[in-house]
Amino acid sequence: PAVERTLVLVKPDGVRRGLSGEVLRRIEAKGYTLVAVELKQATTELLAAHYAEHEGKPFYQPLVDFMLSGPTLAVVAEGQGVIPGFRSLAGATNPTEAAPGTIRGDLGRDWGLKVQQNLVHGSDSTESAAREIGLWFPGL
């Protein structure tokens, strides 16, 4: 696979629980390179752009409110196949269904219907990665 870059977010639940280092450790242990790491407070404008594909869905507003609830660790990681590769490390969207061995499967908890609190985000395609890296790291 090609060398590529992806946007990873340690969401506010992960930062609050002190799991930023654990997520970075797993990215590096897999052999990917950290290109940029920055703790940021997301804004409504940034999240509207980041989650534009989900606008209008029932979980959209709770997701945005959750993402505004504290700082997010934004990461650009690089490596061969890192876009699907990080999605594999992250595991399924719902932490209850995510396989053991994955970030969400090992560390994620399901509080009722709060599926949005699933610790991490990873870009899902080369197009999303380029768009999302531009949003979170305009200087890169």
The residues assigned a catalytic role are 121
**CA dist 51 → 24, 26, 64, 99 (Å):** 23, 25, 8, 25
63 binds, among Mg ion, ligand DAT, none (CB under 5 to 8 A by kind): ligand DAT
Binder among 44, 61, 93, 96 for ligand DAT (CB under 6 A) = 93
Applying the rule CB under 6 A, the residues between 102 and 131 that interact with ligand DAT are 115-116, 118, 121, 124
In a 10 Å sphere around its CB, with 0-12 CB exposed, 13-18 middle and 19+ buried, how is residue 29 labelled?
A: exposed
Applying the rule CB under 5 A, the residues between 74 and 133 that interact with Mg ion are 124
SS3 assignment, position 12: helix
Smallest gap from Cβ 89 to ligand DAT, in A, equals 12
Interaction pattern, residues 38-77, with ligand DAT; x per rule: CB under 6 A? ----------------x----x---x--------------
CA distance 38 to 58: 30
Helix (H) or strand (E) holding 121: strand 120-122
